Homo-oligomer: A and B are copies of this chain.
Amino acid sequence: MIDLWYTESHTENVRFSIKINKHFHSETSEFQKIDFFESTEFGTFFTLDGLMMVNEKDEFVYHDMISHVPLAVNPSVKKVLVIGGGDGGTARELTRYESIERIDMVEIDEAVVRACQKYLPLTASKLEDSRVNLYFEDGVAFVKDKKDEYDLILVDSTDPIGPGEGLFTRAFYQDCFDALTKDGILVNQHESPYYQRDAIAMKKAHSKLKEIFPISKVYQFHMPTYPSGHWLFGFASKSFDPIKDIKKDEWNKFGLKTKYYNTDLHVGCFALPTYVKEMLDKNE
């Protein structure tokens, strides 16, 4: 019996390793290296350029938090744009809302979607929903000419290195602002406060977003397979405050069963540790 471990560097001085049963798929797309593994602890998981993206054990945390937080603030959302999110988990959560009419999903790398459709149906199976329109394009370019079109944009990106880099720029956030309707909300993958490299990305993203959106907050969740397990999303909005304007009753009437999200946790997750607040408040 071979002893096989997947090891990821969370910093140059910290490693996280998962015992795997097999490394069953590997390909190099036009954009990145894609690898799929089967493990006892996390089920099937895949990496992009050697970084954990999605696994069957904790994907529910990330996908609950990227989707249900904005939907509880504006339960009337009809048109949504997902940028990135090639695994399909974010789109899957959106398809649970019958009230959502259109989900445009723009993923730069078709190979990620095709591999997830084959190997990770847990997240990818709802990409077949008739309201989901798949575009295999650069999200940065896609959003540029859209005006007043989406009620919600979810940026489900990789880190700001490689293909995800453009999704952390001021110009992109401005284009998102313009693409949103008057009560529009942008939620974006916002890195982590704990290790230095992630914290720098977090601070940069926030300082750009708050220059553009009248309301810009950050919320946290427990994501055990991401570096430090302390992960963040940004909530930027034209009119709605994510805490004051939550519609708890309306959201609860959807009757969605969720494993991580609930409306009490919604309010709680915006209460950040003091050191994180201080990093975000500093203008750099």
Contact = CB atoms under 8 A, between A and B. Distances in A.
A17 B266 CA distance: 33
Counting every copy of the chain, the complex holds: 2
A99 to B, nearest CB: 22
Contact of A17 (B15, B39, B269): B15
Interface string A36-57: 0001110000000000000000
Contacts of A12: 19
Interface in A1-26: 5, 11-19
Contacts of A40: 13
Nearest to A61: B273
Interface residues of A, number: 41
A242 to B, nearest CB: 13
Contact of A13 (B41, B195, B260): B41
Interface string A258-272: 111110111111111
A72 to B, nearest CB: 13
Interface in A209-229: 220, 222, 224, 228-229
Nearest 5 CB-CB pairings of A with B: A229-B229, A268-B271, A268-B268, A224-B228, A222-B230
Interface of A: 5, 11-19, 39-41, 58, 61, 194-195, 220, 222, 224, 228-230, 258-262, 264-275, 277
15 contacts: A11-B41, A13-B19, A14-B19, A15-B15, A15-B17, A15-B19, A17-B17, A41-B195, A220-B222, A222-B230, A259-B273, A259-B274, A259-B275, A266-B271, A267-B268
